Structure 1
Amino acid sequence: MTAKRIVVVSAGLSTPSSTRQLADRLAADAVDILRERGVEVEVQTFELRDLAHDITNHLLMGFAPPKLEEALDAVSTADGLIAVTPIFTTSYAGLFKSFIDVIDPQALTDLPVLIGATGGTPRHSLAIDYAIRPLFTYLHAIPVTTGVFAATGDWGGAGDGVRSLPDRVFRGAREFADLVERTDRADRVNDPFALDRPLGHLIGGLAGE
């Protein structure tokens, strides 16, 4: 059986980052669930702050440098995406949105997505449903029902008093694992008519050397 490919994208800006910590927890639970079911999993994790300059250059010039192109290729061939962003001014981080903007729009079609977000207060938790989920739905991805928000007080605490952060992480990871296990994007990966490079790369005049 071909291993399922999960890509993890963290848009945290600090080091260490609670955004990366949440992303790692979501990935760990999803991998554990899939492996318990006998499904092999490969995980690639990308810190968007390491790609910030490349993302900006791509937006301006239409060219993806090698490190960014690796991330874009990983997303386009993934069986599942875990996307986690801090919430700034009631919505996703600008760096997070800029990364989504340089992805080939077709690359996310039918892709299971587990959404995570972090913020200082639980009041920002609704951003998952009014800002982030519509973004992925518009791109024809399949965001799982449970989005996981972690406020500062959730770490090591009882969360929102209804369900602890570990419980919410596990629930989201389980829903995500269900979709990843069933998805088959091999036809997309092996499509003989697929572009060798992202469309933006071709428009930038760098179709080949």
Structure 2
Amino acid sequence: MKLVAVSAGLTQPSSTRLLTDRLVEATVRAVGDEVNVEEVNVGEVNVEEVEVEVVELRDLATDIANNFVTGFAGRALRAAQEAVTSADGLIAVTPIFTASYSGLFKSFFDVLDPESLEAKPTLIAATGGTPRHSLALEHALRPMFAYLHAVVAPTAVYAAAEDWGNDDGLPDRVRRAATELAGLMRHRAPAREERLVPFAEQLAALTREP
């Protein structure tokens, strides 16, 4: 089982990456709880069959821009795209700018194969300076991932500046969202398999007598 997190923070360190790491750790623990695994190792995270990879979009900004201009993904961007495409679960975290996701965050998903997130369990989250921007998760992020046919966890996590160092709310939201994502990953519907029907078989079906 593979969990991939996409973090669109622009600074180093960033609150966006901090929230990403908390969601990753909570999801790994939740997967472990479902299979009664007690030992959890976070960092090079491996819990039973769970493999974790974090994609930092700030490191891919130039590659993403070049992809728009040339139509070709560089090696690092291609590796990130393949990681997201092959993941059993996705955590997507963005800072909120002007009441919506960041341009870098949106651009990364614009250069993905539009069918690569179909039926993929996904947890959406965001950071911002004020709680007023929390609704961006529902009016911007959730519709985008619904358009891409991802299966989005019911609980979205928003962390404002005042949430850090405050144990009243954010930890509970993180645990609830992580538990939902772990459940979706465990019970993920198999990808649709499309069978190519040979032309002779199609022709026979057309000419068969009713």
TM-score normalised to structure 1 length: 0.84
Superimposed CA distance per residue, residues 168-188 of structure 1 (whole angstroms, 9 cap, x where no aligned partner): 000000111110111155x57
Partner of 1:19 in structure 2?
Answer: 16
CA-based RMSD: 1.7
Separation in 2, partners of 1:6, 1:15: 22
Separation in 1, partners of 2:21, 2:9: 12
Superimposed CA distance per residue, residues 130-175 of structure 1 (whole angstroms, 9 cap, x where no aligned partner): 000000000101111100000000001155xxxx100000000011
Separation in 1, partners of 2:52, 2:195: 25
Q: Residues 59 and 122 of structure 1: is their aligned pair in 2 closer, same or farther, counting only changes over 3 Å?
A: same
Partner of 1:101 in structure 2?
Answer: 110
Segments of structure 2 that go 5 or more residues without pairing to the other structure are 36-47, 197-210
Q: Which has the larger radius of gyration?
A: 2
Superimposed CA distance per residue, residues 50-92 of structure 1 (whole angstroms, 9 cap, x where no aligned partner): 0000000011111111111011011111111000000000000
Identity %: 55
Check whether the contact 2:119–2:189 (CA below 8 A) recurs between aligned residues: no
TM-superposed CA distance for 1:35, in Å, is: 1.6
Check whether the contact 1:121–1:152 (CA below 8 A) recurs between aligned residues: yes
Which portions of structure 1, spanning 4 or more consecutive aligned residues, are displaced by more than 4 angstroms? 190-193
Check whether the contact 1:6–1:78 (CA below 8 A) recurs between aligned residues: yes
Q: Residues 33 and 139 of structure 1: is their aligned pair in 2 closer, same or farther, counting only changes over 3 Å?
A: same
Q: How many residues align?
A: 184
Partner of 1:168 in structure 2?
Answer: 173
Q: What is the DSSP-based 3-state SS (H/G/I as helix, E as strand, rest coil) of the residue aligned with 1:107?
A: coil
TM-superposed CA distance for 1:22, in Å, is: 0.3
Separation in 1, partners of 2:119, 2:93: 19
Partner of 2:145 in structure 1?
Answer: 136
Letter in 2 for 1:174: T
